[in-house]
Amino acid sequence: MFENLSDRLSGVFDRLTKQGALSADDVKTALREVRVALLEADVSLPVARSFIKAVEEKATGAAVTKSVTPGQQVVKIVHDELIEVLKGEGEPGTLKIDNAPAPILMVGLQGSGKTTTTGKLAKRLKDREGKKVLMASLDIYRPAAMDQLAVLGQQVGVDTLPIVKGENAVQIAKRAKQQAMLGGYDVYMLDTAGRLQIDDVLMKEVEDVRDVVSPRETLLVVDGLTGQVAVEVAEEFDGKIGISGVVLTRMDGDGRGGAALSMRAVTGKPIKFVGLGEKMDALETFEPERIAGRILGMGDIVALVEKAQETLEIEQAERMMKRFQKGQFNFNDLKMQMEQMLKMGGMEGMMSMMPGMGKMAKQVEDSGFDDKVIRQQIALINSMTKKERANPKLLQASRKKRIAKGAGMEVSDLNKLMKMQRQMGDMMKKMGKMGKGGMLKQAMR
């Protein structure tokens, strides 16, 4: 039904050549497609817009990993950002239900799957957390709804409040609260009445119930297939009743999960669970990764990019290892090590991370080998030609003079650097020769 985003993108990016970094144009082209895909997945326009803007800022200039295309790289960035937005605060799948009996208010439109979800959640709390749960239907308009909950209760082995004809919703809620206290229940769940559309009477009734029981959780159940309508419903309920979380149902259908993204972005409320079928165990903890994959329909691309990045790092490390083992350690290697050192917080930062290095750190400090010295040495290396960097043996008197002068330093400084390069080279060689279990290899794991 939907054109897959990865298919859509691959057409565009086949034409783009591989480059070292994502250019602004690459990103723009890719994001045009992402935007269409988001809208097709039922993400609302303002949400799609602000989302794309955030991705654009992150993606422009990002490094493109070898063996993936810029398009694939953009998709990975989009994917990560999706997860970022979808991730709510707190552990997904957990509810605040300490202080027994804890009331949970279930709200939503008729047909959203509210009653089914009430049963599923009660079962989950009973089975997974060993809670004693009581369910009550407040749907005085549809006797069938009350019966439905009673049947579900029997099916999952959870008690339901006996039905008393003629009571209103608030009276039933009060009776449920009392019964929960007397009966030693941990949780009591109130399945409120739904309407086909939001109306004032419904809202007022739910408000009254809320005020009587002060729910620990107010969960809005919405049909995940209804897309933007679901988001409007969520806004309305949150504004009037105040919800603590959302359950998206029918996520087993072919909806593309865009509602989830809009929902998070618009209401800021966490999606706690997703319904994945009609059966009583078809309720799962909301997982941002799954929805992100679904919105983009490109789980394999993300895996590919991750793999490529990993492989690249391993390849680099292995190449370096092989060279060190052969005793090849030139100025490029030295420079890389020094830069790495600076990145890790300089000499001091590195020493402080290594156990037992306290004493040595003091010696290093005394020797005057600090970050400033490292920077000067990098400047010396920068003053060399490419050939000189790769082949330290080339450095004879006249070259040395030129290099030192270029870096604004003395030949004696360069001599120190050369000595260091030789010593480190020897050390690397020894370490490399320690075989498979060698220090260097272990350090690189």
Q: Which residue's CB comes closest to ligand GDP?
A: 275
What are the start-end ranges of the H helices in 163-298? 169-182, 200-213, 228-240, 258-267, 288-296
Q: Find the part of the chain contacting ligand GDP (CB under 6 A) among 19-27, 72-80, 212-220, 274-282.
A: 274-282
Cβ proximity of 296 and 72 under 8 Å: no
Distance of alpha carbon 32 from alpha carbon 59, whole angstroms: 13
Q: Does 277 bind ligand GDP (CB under 6 A)?
A: yes
Query: Binding residue for ligand GDP (CB under 6 A) from 84, 147, 207, 278?
Result: 278
Restricting to residues 233-252, which ones interact with ligand GDP according to CB under 6 A? 249-250, 252
Cβ atoms within 10 Å of 288's Cβ, excluding its own:
19
User: Residue 206 CB, nearest distance to ligand GDP (Å)?
Assistant: 14
For residue 239, say whether it is annotated as part of any ligand binding site: no
For residue 112, say whether it is annotated as part of any ligand binding site: yes
Under rule CB under 6 A, how many of the chain's residues touch ligand GDP? 17
The dihedral region occupied by 42, where left means phi > 0, alpha psi between -120 and 50, and beta the remainder, is: left
Q: Does 276 bind ligand GDP (CB under 6 A)?
A: yes
Q: Find the part of the chain contacting ligand GDP (CB under 6 A) among 71-79, 273-281, 310-318, 395-403.
A: 273-281
For residue 44, say whether it is annotated as part of any ligand binding site: no
Nearest to 153 by CA among 123, 179, 128, 112: 123
Distance of alpha carbon 372 from alpha carbon 368, whole angstroms: 9
Distance of alpha carbon 196 from alpha carbon 298, whole angstroms: 35
Query: Binding residue for ligand GDP (CB under 6 A) from 72, 73, 115, 160?
Result: 115
- Residue 255 vs 425, nearer CB to ligand GDP: 255
- Residue 174 vs 195, nearer CB to ligand GDP: 195
Cβ proximity of 283 and 275 under 8 Å: yes
- Residue 111 vs 345, nearer CB to ligand GDP: 111
Q: Does 275 bind ligand GDP (CB under 6 A)?
A: yes
Q: Sort strands 102-108 and 159-160 into parallel, antiparallel or unpaired.
A: unpaired
Show the binding pattern over residues 131-160: x = contacts ligand GDP (CB under 6 A), - = does not.
Answer: ------------------------------
- Residue 47 vs 109, nearer CB to ligand GDP: 109
Q: Which two tokens stand for residue 418?
A: 């050369």
Query: Binding residue for ligand GDP (CB under 6 A) from 103, 113, 257, 432?
Result: 113
Q: Return the bridge partners of 135, or none.
A: 160, 189
Cβ proximity of 198 and 226 under 8 Å: no
Q: Find the part of the chain contacting ligand GDP (CB under 6 A) among 106-114, 179-187, 369-377, 400-408.
A: 106-114
| Burial environment of residue 188 by CB neighbours within 10 A (0 to 12, 13 to 18, 19 or more) | buried
Q: Does 194 bind ligand GDP (CB under 6 A)?
A: yes
Q: Does 192 bind ligand GDP (CB under 6 A)?
A: no
For residue 186, say whether it is annotated as part of any ligand binding site: no
For residue 119, say whether it is annotated as part of any ligand binding site: no
Q: Does 110 bind ligand GDP (CB under 6 A)?
A: yes
Q: Does 111 bind ligand GDP (CB under 6 A)?
A: yes
For residue 218, say whether it is annotated as part of any ligand binding site: no
Asked whether the CA dihedral 9, 12, 18, 22 is positive or negative, the reply is negative
User: Residue 62 CB, nearest distance to ligand GDP (Å)?
Assistant: 37
For residue 113, say whether it is annotated as part of any ligand binding site: yes
Distance of alpha carbon 383 from alpha carbon 385, whole angstroms: 7
Distance of alpha carbon 48 from alpha carbon 34, whole angstroms: 9
Query: Binding residue for ligand GDP (CB under 6 A) from 112, 137, 226, 377?
Result: 112
Q: Does 116 bind ligand GDP (CB under 6 A)?
A: yes
Distance of alpha carbon 105 from alpha carbon 247, whole angstroms: 12
What CA–CA distances, in Å, run from 373 to 178, 205, 329, 332, 370?
Answer: 75, 74, 20, 17, 5
Q: Find the part of the chain contacting ligand GDP (CB under 6 A) among 105-113, 235-243, 329-337, 354-362.
A: 105-113
Binding site, residues? 108-115, 191-195, 249-252
Binding site for GTP, residues? 108-115, 191-195, 249-252
Residues found near ligand GDP in the complex (CB under 6 A)? 108, 110-116, 194, 249-250, 252, 275-278, 282
